[in-house]
Amino acid sequence: MHSNVSLEGTYLSRRALGIGLALLSIALWVGPIVAAFASNGWNLKETVMPSQDELSRVKDKVGGLTEGGFSENTLQIVDNQMDLTTGEFEATLEFESPFNIDVKITEFSFELYCEQHDFKLVPVQLEENEVSIPASAIVQFDIVGSLTSQGRQHIIDNHGGKLPEPSLENPVFELESYGVTIRMENMELGG
Domain residue limits at 169: 75-185
Q: What CATH number did the domain enclosing 127 receive?
A: 2.60.40.10
What is this structure's pTM?
A: 0.59
Q: Residue 58 and residue 72: Cα distance in Å, rounded?
A: 26
Tell me, what's the pLDDT at 101? 86
Does residue 69 fall inside a structural domain? no
Does residue 12 fall inside a structural domain? yes
Q: Does residue 125 sit in the same domain as residue 164?
A: yes
Does residue 174 fall inside a structural domain? yes
Task: Give the closest residue to 185 by CA, choosing from 124, 122, 109, 126.
Answer: 109
Q: Does residue 104 sit in the same domain as residue 142?
A: yes
Tell me, what's the pLDDT at 191? 42
Tell me, what's the pLDDT at 26? 83
Q: What is the DSSP string of 68-127?
A: S---TTSEEEEEEEEETTTTEEEEEEEEE--BSS-EEEEEEEEEEEETTTTEEEEEEEES
Please state the domain count of the chain.
2
Q: Does residue 137 sit in the same domain as residue 82?
A: yes
Q: Does residue 39 sit in the same domain as residue 81?
A: no
CB-count exposure of residue 133 (10 Å: 0-12, 13-18, 19+): buried
Q: Does residue 35 sit in the same domain as residue 119?
A: no
Does residue 142 fall inside a structural domain? yes
Low-confidence ranges of the chain (pLDDT < 70): 1-9, 11, 47-50, 54-72, 187-191
The 10s digit of each residue's pLDDT in 48-75 is 666 777 666 666 655 555 555 566 677 8
Q: Residue 87 and residue 93: Cα distance in Å, rounded?
A: 20
